[in-house]
Structure 1
């Protein structure tokens, strides 16, 4: 079999790849901070503190640096920062924080470098700084010959930054921020197979491990007969993994190749003990619904919504490589928090931070799963056992059946209505599980703060009841907001339909005039235009809004309920300044397709103690034939730069479900029209 990258590299297309200096390389350079440097050849190098899990943070960094240093995006060489919070600050990619965290530091560092270069040129020419301008990788003066950056680096590096006034490029002079042409800085590398993901970033000579995992939820290893596995050609070792320090637990087979490791795992004879071999997710959901407190008072409408377990399902399954030696621990992995991982590993292994080196790789999706470090712990345990670098590879089935799932939840919503059928008060009761991977989420107040972002002028009460989680649960794109907002927006959509109200008009009425949400809702409605279709059986329109991460979004969905087909999704989003507009559009499109998938049928169910689904063949993610037209409108505002990665999922899911319901009945769960649990 020819690997994809081997095939791509063998083609006639020749791609020039910029040479990247090793991190920490010693050379004369202008480096105002750890984030930006201009080397002796005048090359601009940006160190990206956050890992790229598909959200395009590297491209965003290149745009910011190129803007302030007056060069083109293609002129910026990107380096990925290693895990080191002391040098780079928070490196976590979560809570849609990447753009909000990196924009200020990268712009400031780049602007400082530009002002130092201009000051160096002005000093050499003995002219006022105000007469000089940086443009196209050089400093220009109307009466002097322009000087390239490389001719000024040494002089600029010798200046005291405290003596040089630094000014950011004002918005009216931006060439790139908010105006970048479509495309990502790493697109060519990705499509030609040159981009290195987790399993491709390991050192030469590494071994490969796969893990035999519990056959039912909560089980641990009882006995292991590994004689047949050790007899498989290529198998080097069999390692018993004990949680929590070695991940989720199981038995790892370490071999010279993935194929040998899989054959060895098939030959293992493992018995399991403990756990809940009779667990059933239908019973879990019934327990959550029973935990909802009884309603007190009189209401004109009420509804219960049931939401299932969801797996993360990134395109790149979990993996990690570790090389543990007497004097160092080296890790290569697609992770969401390399700095935090470094600190955690140092503490777990009793090593100083200086001995732990984490190299974050490009990740093929994350969605909250790669905040967790269990694949890294497995790789570290295997490397310790064999004394060599080891890559732990999860299969797609491993990824689906041993994930940390989005919790199930049950929601009871009730409302009193005015004479016109518009809600005047509301109640939202939630019964769910905490996130087992994050202890703070054992607090109902934390769960509510994560999920409750109801934006409309309808006063009410929100309560959260937590039941013990019967399996591993974790962060999933939008965390609890994806559940709270789904129930709230579906209920509001039902009330609007019941009262004969247009779904957009009723929301406009309940949103403050002049608000960001009102603006994006109006923009989405304008773009969506007049509904197409001659009857309700052929056309149904729904809308939903969401305000979170310092951003605002509105979604309008047109669907054909009879065909169970979403025709068009129109989204208007306000993230303040969209640093990389095509990246914003891509993030929204991806979240819409996640929403479509979970509304149409994707869910995780448990029967006889085990997860039923095993891969995309039965964890039904949307196919190309399911995809609607998606139109994204960027609404610019003076608000601070907001987050985006998780923003679109909650309103998109609610609007899609409500549109599909059409005149055929209310939404009562997710997936819509399918048994939940």
Structure 2
């Protein structure tokens, strides 16, 4: 049963004014409408009986809106299609943390949404029982109405007024028990907003600008760390449609540049081409190969003589979301309005208010659908650029990054070098290990300047092999930021590839060796066994890669079958335990998407720097997997009694490691990412 305290902490209580008596239907004064039933800010049943869920987190592709619809429909005894979804504006005080990161969406929204919906249901049932003058226990909510064996069913719209007049603290509230769930963990439905997305009615960032908005593109630094020296904007201002040229000096870690504001994207791009900008400072001779060598020299001296020793080199990676960075802002004397695909609308609102010296009440942040994020949209530099442009021209401005902008001016996943050593027992099973890491901090987040924080983010080694792990940080020579799975994608990649090599050297089966080193029983053992049962044995000429990972209170095991000679991944089997899979098909989609990221980075996608600039500019040379590269992907859901776990980043580390190990086969061992390609 939900206590008064737990109910009140689940959301802001809406106080309802009594509009009727317990014995009869509510009535409204002429010309007025009955109130909505809104037990918290997350859920309401309006006076027409319509169920509305306010989604506090932005949807960046992880399906948080669909999860919200499933949770609310379950507890309010309606169908998913009966739930109207509304996206919350940025407001931390009202909705709590709105950050989408660290695979927290499902864990953050589940309890508040279930509690609010269950409260609304119990109030509706109590109102019906009072109307009928029967015990509450004889009444049941079903299909958007309250039923009783000897009474005419009452639809929610007939009960909203009475229910809104009841003090929620006087009604016992009980969540629907798992054995009565119709939808949670059971629904085969797709995304709640799928039809709007595929028909083009859904609006992403750059499509959400108000009428009359101008367009801006930015001339960005010619080399890493450069700042604007001089600007000759005469030719740019002469371009038809160009309205203004704005020199950008964003606060914090922004890169700066010169924005051209115009009436159309084409005019803005022509104006940018016409600019004459000189740059100063930075490092015009930077080379990522030298950075990698510097990291390798930063590794601490090796003590002892391991039986197996391997060095892994991992590259820079760009985020490459399908929707490049963009933001729209309108700054006036009385308010600041922003429309943007962001990962933390509430935090953005607070940051903008502080930077602009405005009260938060004057700042409105409307989060839009995002065409991917992967950690990049936690940063606010596109919004800062739009705000600066709008302040200059006095009109709403949409800043659009081109694909080249997005690739060459990202905040990249840091490079890293890993040295792993292992001592082996007589049977070839590891008995001790050492893992030394040299990498860079995340420049966009101060806590990650601490090696202990980097280690805590990356070191999730699950096997019973004692050892030493150390992290050495060198100053980052360019902007670095959160990238899907952060440091775990680097630590676990090296560790699992290394364990795969040890298994081959000792003649051990990849699955059997891991089973020996994992505690039993454990959730990791369970998913490993499930994947092993599901994955077919490799045919002649094929090889297998295996990897496990536990993070975000979730467990996953990945088994990959590949044809090393053809450099082709054939099949990926992933068994995952996220506790309660709120929306099973969403779990499958998340794992599938992460596997494609892993495949892409193992097969060849990396960012390199030559002569001070990023070489890659788009998907033509930052080579993400094509359809012809994609294997069969089989996702197995392993259910457990564990609390709801996170998922968005979970599959990347083991999928990348298992893919690389399978591609290596019995040939050249894995020593980096991409596999078989020069790193850096």
TM-score (normalised: structure 1): 0.95
Q: Which residue of 1 aligns with 2:163?
A: 156
Q: What secondary structure is seen at the aligned counterpart in 2 of 1:41?
A: coil
CA-CA distance at 1:207 after TM superposition: 0.3
How many residues were matched structurally? 649
- Distance (whole Å) between structure 2 residues aligned to residue 422 and residue 327 of structure 1: 68
Q: Which residue of 2 aligns with 1:321?
A: 328
Match of 1:243 among 234, 238, 250: 250
Aligned residue runs from structure 1 range 278-357, under 5 A: 278-357=285-364
1:391 aligned onto 2:398: yes
Instruction: Give the conservation status (yes or no) of the 8 Å contact 1:246–1:381.
Output: no
Aligned residue runs from structure 1 range 38-437, under 5 A: 38-244=45-251, 247-437=254-444
- Distance (whole Å) between structure 1 residues aligned to residue 305 and residue 571 of structure 2: 38
Q: Which residue of 2 aligns with 1:593?
A: 596
1:661 aligned onto 2:664: yes
Instruction: Give the conservation status (yes or no) of the 8 Å contact 2:329–2:336.
Output: yes
CA-CA distance at 1:244 after TM superposition: 2.2
- Distance (whole Å) between structure 2 residues aligned to residue 269 and residue 182 of structure 1: 54
- Distance (whole Å) between structure 1 residues aligned to residue 262 and residue 537 of structure 2: 61
1:570 aligned onto 2:570: no
Q: What secondary structure is seen at the aligned counterpart in 2 of 1:562?
A: helix
CA-CA distance at 1:299 after TM superposition: 1.1
Q: What secondary structure is seen at the aligned counterpart in 2 of 1:152?
A: helix
Q: What secondary structure is seen at the aligned counterpart in 2 of 1:602?
A: coil
- Distance (whole Å) between structure 2 residues aligned to residue 73 and residue 31 of structure 1: 19
- Distance (whole Å) between structure 1 residues aligned to residue 221 and residue 35 of structure 2: 55
**Could you list the runs of 4 or more consecutive aligned residues of structure 1 that deviate by over 6 angstroms after TM superposition?**
none
Deviations 1:255-310 (A, max 9, x none): 00000000000000000000000000000000001100111012101100000000
- Distance (whole Å) between structure 2 residues aligned to residue 623 and residue 388 of structure 1: 41
Deviations 1:326-381 (A, max 9, x none): 01000000000000000000000000000000000000000000000000000000
Deviations 1:399-429 (A, max 9, x none): 0000000000000000000001010000000
CA-CA distance at 1:248 after TM superposition: 2.1
Structure 2: unaligned runs, 5 residues or longer: 1-32
Q: Which residue of 2 aligns with 1:624?
A: 627
Q: What secondary structure is seen at the aligned counterpart in 2 of 1:522?
A: helix
- Distance (whole Å) between structure 1 residues aligned to residue 669 and residue 385 of structure 2: 45
Instruction: Give the conservation status (yes or no) of the 8 Å contact 2:253–2:443.
Output: no
Match of 2:499 among 492, 498, 503: 492
1:552 aligned onto 2:555: yes
CA-CA distance at 1:665 after TM superposition: 1.5
- Distance (whole Å) between structure 1 residues aligned to residue 45 and residue 637 of structure 2: 33
Structure 1: unaligned runs, 5 residues or longer: 1-25
Deviations 1:610-651 (A, max 9, x none): 000000000000000000000000000000000000000000
Deviations 1:419-461 (A, max 9, x none): 0101000000000000000000000000000000000000011
1:610 aligned onto 2:617: no
Instruction: Give the conservation status (yes or no) of the 8 Å contact 2:250–2:384.
Output: no
- Distance (whole Å) between structure 2 residues aligned to residue 324 and residue 529 of structure 1: 59
Instruction: Give the conservation status (yes or no) of the 8 Å contact 1:247–1:375.
Output: no
Instruction: Give the conservation status (yes or no) of the 8 Å contact 1:82–1:338.
Output: yes
Deviations 1:515-572 (A, max 9, x none): 00000000000000322x22xxx11011000000000000000000000000000000
Instruction: Give the conservation status (yes or no) of the 8 Å contact 2:253–2:479.
Output: no
- Distance (whole Å) between structure 2 residues aligned to residue 324 and residue 269 of structure 1: 28
Aligned residue runs from structure 1 range 449-528, under 5 A: 449-528=456-535
Instruction: Give the conservation status (yes or no) of the 8 Å contact 1:245–1:377.
Output: no
CA-CA distance at 1:673 after TM superposition: 0.1
- Distance (whole Å) between structure 1 residues aligned to residue 431 and residue 542 of structure 2: 29
Instruction: Give the conservation status (yes or no) of the 8 Å contact 2:497–2:658.
Output: yes
CA-CA distance at 1:246 after TM superposition: 9.5
CA-CA distance at 1:27 after TM superposition: 6.8
Instruction: Give the conservation status (yes or no) of the 8 Å contact 1:29–1:153.
Output: yes
- Distance (whole Å) between structure 2 residues aligned to residue 522 and residue 620 of structure 1: 34
- Distance (whole Å) between structure 1 residues aligned to residue 104 and residue 515 of structure 2: 29
CA-CA distance at 1:181 after TM superposition: 1.5
Q: What secondary structure is seen at the aligned counterpart in 2 of 1:366?
A: coil
Q: Which residue of 1 aligns with 2:14?
A: none
- Distance (whole Å) between structure 2 residues aligned to residue 630 and residue 601 of structure 1: 20
Instruction: Give the conservation status (yes or no) of the 8 Å contact 2:253–2:444.
Output: no
From the superposition, tell whether residues 125 and 27 of structure 1 become closer, same or farther in structure 2 (CA, over 3 Å): closer
Q: What secondary structure is seen at the aligned counterpart in 2 of 1:557?
A: strand
Match of 1:448 among 449, 455, 462: 455
Instruction: Give the conservation status (yes or no) of the 8 Å contact 1:302–1:414.
Output: yes
- Distance (whole Å) between structure 2 residues aligned to residue 676 and residue 350 of structure 1: 45
Instruction: Give the conservation status (yes or no) of the 8 Å contact 2:235–2:275.
Output: yes
From the superposition, tell whether residues 177 and 325 of structure 1 become closer, same or farther in structure 2 (CA, over 3 Å): same
TM-score (normalised: structure 2): 0.95
- Distance (whole Å) between structure 2 residues aligned to residue 652 and residue 474 of structure 1: 21
- Distance (whole Å) between structure 2 residues aligned to residue 385 and residue 608 of structure 1: 34
1:672 aligned onto 2:671: no
Q: What secondary structure is seen at the aligned counterpart in 1 of 2:565?
A: coil
Q: What secondary structure is seen at the aligned counterpart in 2 of 1:646?
A: coil
- Distance (whole Å) between structure 1 residues aligned to residue 625 and residue 52 of structure 2: 39
Q: Which residue of 2 aligns with 1:633?
A: 636
Q: Which residue of 2 aligns with 1:646?
A: 649
**What RMSD over aligned residues (CA atoms) do the two structures have, in Å?**
1.0
CA-CA distance at 1:182 after TM superposition: 3.3
